[in-house]
Homo-oligomer: A and B are copies of this chain.
Amino acid sequence: MDGAKLSPMSYITLGLVELRGPSTPYELKAAINESIGYFWTFSHAQFYNEPPRLVSLGLMHEERERDGRRRRTFSITDAGREALQRWLAEPIAQRREMRDEGMLKLFFAELTGVEEIEELRRDQELRHRAMIAELEGLHERFGARDDLGYRTDTIRWGLAGERALAEFWAKLKVSPAKSRRLRPTRRRSGTG
């Protein structure tokens, strides 16, 4: 199986091992927490599930300790490196999505009251601003480091998005006119 379809988690695993060298699941998890983890998280179990899967595809190689701890260390194989390179060179397959629960609640906001919406608005704004503060901190610490490749750019990427959305929520107009809740119980008259 060469064209086996890998998930983002697969490439994160391969990529991190390529960047760091042979690693244990715990190390991978730690490495993510302070980088990609700001935008994309995984449960720790994934770091134990995914590498064996990649081993079974011949993209990684496992070595396990004999002593008490029996730690599993994974390294990338040549096939793994190739798969990673292919992915990096490949155009992105499917359409981008901006899955966001806040957006979802906004979409249905007419079904609730202005207080709830105002609360949502404020909460979203604060969350984005908190994220901005965090990313700014990262940017101050690492923004000038020239040994981090494009990883510092991902911080700027996050900042761009977060700032735009913070502004959006800050300026959102909440008004009773947009609400439906206080109308008499609807009963559908015509065809669905």
A188 / chain B contacts, CB cutoff of 8 Å: 21-22
The A135-165 residues at the B interface (CB cut-off 8 A) are: 146, 149-151, 153-154, 156-158, 160-161, 163-165
Question: Are B101 and A92 in contact, with the CB atoms below 8 A?
Answer: yes
Among A103, A112, A146, the one with the most B-chain Cβ atoms within 10 Å of its Cβ is A103
- Judged by a CB distance under 8 angstroms, whether A66 is at the interface is no
Question: Are B97 and A39 in contact, with the CB atoms below 8 A?
Answer: yes
A111 in contact with B153 given A40-B97, A99-B40, A116-B89 (CB within 8 Å):
no
* Chain A residues at the B interface, C-beta cutoff of 8 Å: 8, 11-12, 15, 18-23, 27, 35-36, 39-41, 73, 84-85, 87-89, 91-92, 95-112, 116-117, 119-120, 123-124, 127-128, 131, 146, 149-151, 153-154, 156-158, 160-161, 163-165, 167-168, 172, 177-180, 188, 192
Question: Are B88 and A92 in contact, with the CB atoms below 8 A?
Answer: no
List 19 other contacts, CB 8 Å, given A92-B124, A95-B127, A98-B158: A8-B104, A11-B104, A19-B108, A21-B188, A22-B188, A35-B107, A36-B104, A40-B97, A88-B108, A88-B116, A91-B119, A98-B161, A107-B150, A107-B151, A110-B151, A161-B161, A161-B165, A161-B168, A163-B164
Please name 17 pairs of A and B residues whose Cβ atoms are closer than 8 Å in the assembled complex, sorted by A: A15-B108, A15-B111, A87-B105, A88-B109, A92-B105, A92-B120, A98-B98, A98-B158, A99-B99, A107-B151, A107-B154, A109-B149, A157-B168, A160-B168, A161-B161, A164-B164, A164-B165
